[in-house]
Structure 1
Amino acid sequence: MFLKVYTGRSKLVFSLSQLFNLAESLGGLESLAELPAIMTHSSVPKSDRDVLGISDTLIRLSVGLEDKKDLLEDLDQALKAAHPPNASHN
């Protein structure tokens, strides 16, 4: 699953998450979130990442064995907390 969030909010989303840890996928059983532009694809030039759709705001989710309802609720609360309705979107 991939998400796009407002610039500067990607790390914030997962500091607010209780179930998704920010890490590259290591083949574990737990759910992880990754920021490809600064993690797995940091050595790829930005112009190439742009062509590939790997923006600075892209979040990749690796879903583990946790209950899907718990994961969705956690993701929902983290996204809402990181993107309050009246916040400016920079």
Structure 2
Amino acid sequence: PQYALYKKQMSGFSGMISIYLKGDEVEKSRRFLKHLKLFTTAESLGGYESLVELPAVMTHASVPEEHRRQLGITDGLIRMSVGLENVRDLLEDIEDALQYAFSETDGK
């Protein structure tokens, strides 16, 4: 909604991204976070290391579910702060975690 203002004030982009996991299931989201090796699960975002959080059960856990959903904070929302690690390594880590999260087995 503030894209025009952003373009006026900024010359680049940040390392903050949000993704929604298909199916919007908290268990799949937890499995995704659990399997990441290069991202640290933390509520603090924006550091030099790659961090990840699940807002529905972390930063916004006390917000009623209906209100969270109105804000777009669903059980499938993942927030990531991309750090200084090698981008190919990070992408591979995300791909592996996605495969794990959507696999039929628990990896045992």
Query: Same fold per TM (> 0.5)?
Result: yes
TM-score if structure 2 supplies the norm length? 0.71
What's the counterpart of residue 81 of structure 2? 62
What's the counterpart of residue 2 of structure 1? 18
Letter in 1 for 2:87: K
Which structure exhibits the higher relative contact order, with contacts defined as CA atoms closer than 8 Å and separated by 6 or more residues?
1
What's the counterpart of residue 52 of structure 1? 71
- In structure 1, how many angstroms separate the alpha carbons of the residues matched to 2:72 and 2:96? 26
- In structure 1, how many angstroms separate the alpha carbons of the residues matched to 2:95 and 2:43? 21
The ranges of structure 1 where at least 4 consecutive aligned residues each deviate by more than 3 angstroms after the TM superposition are: none
Task: Give 1:75 shift.
Answer: 0.3
Runs of 5+ consecutive residues of structure 2 not aligned to the other structure:
1-16
User: In structure 2, which of residues 47, 68, 75 is the aligned counterpart of residue 28 of structure 1?
Assistant: 47
On the 8 A contact 1:25/1:62 being kept in 2, the answer is no
Task: Give 1:52 shift.
Answer: 0.6
Runs of 5+ consecutive residues of structure 1 not aligned to the other structure:
none
Q: Which has the larger radius of gyration?
A: 2
- Deviation string, structure 1 residues 18-51 (Cα, Å, up to 9, x no partner): 1011111254311111011111111211111111
Name the Cα RMSD after superposition: 1.4
The sequence identity of aligned pairs, in percent, is 51
TM-score if structure 1 supplies the norm length? 0.84
On the 8 A contact 2:45/2:80 being kept in 1, the answer is no
